[in-house]
Structure 1
């Protein structure tokens, strides 16, 4: 079997999309050959049976160039793949889906956003399969949709006994944008600071494109906490370096709303870090005390305060359950086995 993958970026050093490099490597064990077409290609280290092609974003933006390269690649390589997996960027399915059907290629779309773009809606009629991970995702309602494991490399993301966790440490790991609600988190920490609660938050990530002003306002808001040593910004971190970051911290905080299912939540669970989330995708597994009922600063501060006061034995028990949850339902091997059976 031969597979064509279309994705946004191939770069093992990318802080957000670096994980997909691991997905490709794991899938390469199951297919005789894989062709990857990405909007942007930078650093990668993949097996010989994987060919990587770029639409050219790393050399400058040009939508016309992207489209020309897209059709050139899928046409020139059409005899070298049997099935197609489009990862997140539904426009590729909308642009190429009818040709792939004409050529007898089986098509699948991975789309896990809470809202469906015009491209995504078109793609629902073209794709043979649609994959998602969150029960609140836009695609979850379609008959051809299949809920999939998140796909965490549990050999990489695991508890490291050689790394000591910092007392009362909190971690926020994400691209910075309003949807991630870092501002609300800082406002909650200001409440905790007024109550003389001991904590230290590490913020890993840079502003998303167009969110630079938002990030600057957050930094101004957190200035006093920074000066007190209660907040630190460390910039973006490559995905393969984040296991150490998770292991250094006691609590991981994610304030993304239900609809998507951030991989960082499951990565942190696999790495031995307690998680506090707003996303209701985990409401059937996590204790209620670990889920924010809303994103108001007071609610956020109350949940964090309770988590910081948890005794050691309870924390270890939750960590053990989190790891088992990931291994049984969301490992990368489980994901690639599921994909191979459907693609």
Structure 2
């Protein structure tokens, strides 16, 4: 089967889109079972080293400074021959890709399958659901347009990359939170919880907030977090290492004691699953994780005291408790969210086969 994938960026070292590189690898491996080829049309291309021989990447030129208007102007001419030599089109995340390619695909008689993971519903997501042949999503909360076309597939977590590593105790209680720095992540509650822990006498707490502003307008929010850290006297306790390439973020999970995810999107967050795959306890206010983590690690949003109480419980666990939970969390990711399994489901949907319906 020949498949066309449309995505924003393919770059092995990118902090936000680095996982897409591994998705391309997994899909290429799956279509290779029938001697197929994977074409990837992206807005921007970075480091694409390590991709299989049956992959070709075609960029619309953002990395060369091509403007947004010119990129979309180039889209039909770039997409037509790629659609023509593919059996189906897989559109990754942005509804605009599916809306843009749909007329070409329908003229050529090709299936269009979309992937979308976000709680927000717009006219674009509704129209996408109406037009495409199938919508794949990670969890029921990740796509909130009711349609018989929606299929829940789980996320695609690379279990070889995100795996447990033993850590020698160093007297520190290490908290990590990974993701784009934006108001929906509620990092201020995490910082205030660290202050509560320090005030309660937990002097060895270290918190890493890994990531950078997701959009230019989020820079002000980032600066407010840094100011809060200074104001609360937590300069030595709360650290901002900045954006980290996705292939290197596993090391941040592996040297931590607990992951905190306070995302307000309402959908299963990929970073939380990556941490779980590393055997890391996850404390979260995200209700989408309610079937994945113990109830005493689910906290009320915007409540630093309750978050601090949950972190203190984790800090008090012994090695056996931590190991047992870590094994259960990794097993849950392996069962429902592994990358190879997702690649199989994507290709099956593109062929017209069924996956589990919502």
Asked if TM exceeds 0.5, the reply is yes
Q: Distance in 2 between matches of 1:102 and 1:112?
A: 28
Which residue in 2 is equivalent to 1:121? Answer: 126
Alpha-carbon separation, structure 2, partners of 1:164 and 1:245: 14
Matched residue, 2:159: 154
Q: Is the 8 A contact 1:204 1:235 kept in 2?
A: yes
1:247-272 C-alpha deviation (Å, 9 max, x unpaired)? 10010111012532221111111112
The within-5 A match list for 1:1-343 is 1-31=1-31, 32-45=36-49, 46-60=51-65, 62-139=67-144, 141-161=146-166, 163-164=167-168, 167-198=172-203, 199-209=205-215, 210-223=217-230, 229-343=236-350
Give distance in 1, aligned partners of 2:8 and 2:107.
Answer: 24
The separation in 1 between residues aligned to 2:301 and 2:3, in whole angstroms, is 42
Q: Distance in 2 between matches of 1:232 and 1:225?
A: 13
Q: Does structure 2 conserve the Cα–Cα contact (< 8 Å) formed by 1:134 and 1:140?
A: no
RMSD: 1.7
Using the alignment, how far apart are the partners of 1:112 and 1:244 within structure 2?
25
Change over 3 Å in CA distance of 1:53–1:266 after alignment to 2: same
Structure 1 length as normaliser, TM-score? 0.95
For 1:227 and 1:306, how far apart are their aligned partners in 2?
21
Which consecutive residues of structure 1, in runs of 5 or more, have no partner in the other structure? none
Q: Contact (CA 8 Å) 1:258, 1:280: kept in 2 or not?
A: no
Deviations 1:32-88 (A, max 9, x none): 111111111111121121111112222225222111221111113232211011111
Relative to the length of structure 2, the TM-score reads 0.91
CA deviation profile, 1:257-299 (whole Å, cap 9, x unmatched) = 2532221111111112111112222212311111112222222
Distance 1:165 1:341 in 2: 45
Count of equivalent residues: 342
SS of 1:151's equivalent in the other structure is coil
Q: Distance in 2 between matches of 1:93 and 1:67?
A: 13
Rounded to whole Å, the distance in 1 between the matches of 2:332 and 2:231 is 38
Q: Report deviation, 1:134.
A: 2.4
Distance 2:214 2:292 in 1: 30
Q: Per the alignment, do residues 164 and 53 of structure 1 end up closer, same or farther by CA in structure 2, a change over 3 Å counting?
A: farther
Please give the alpha-carbon distance, in whole angstroms, between the structure 1 residues aligned to 2:236 and 2:48.
Answer: 37
Q: Which segments of 5 or more consecutive residues in structure 2 lack a partner in the other structure?
A: 351-358
Q: Is the 8 A contact 1:164 1:247 kept in 2?
A: no
Partner SS state of residue 48, structure 1: coil
Displacement after TM superposition at 1:224 (Å): 5.5
Contact 2:121 2:145 in 1 (8 A): no
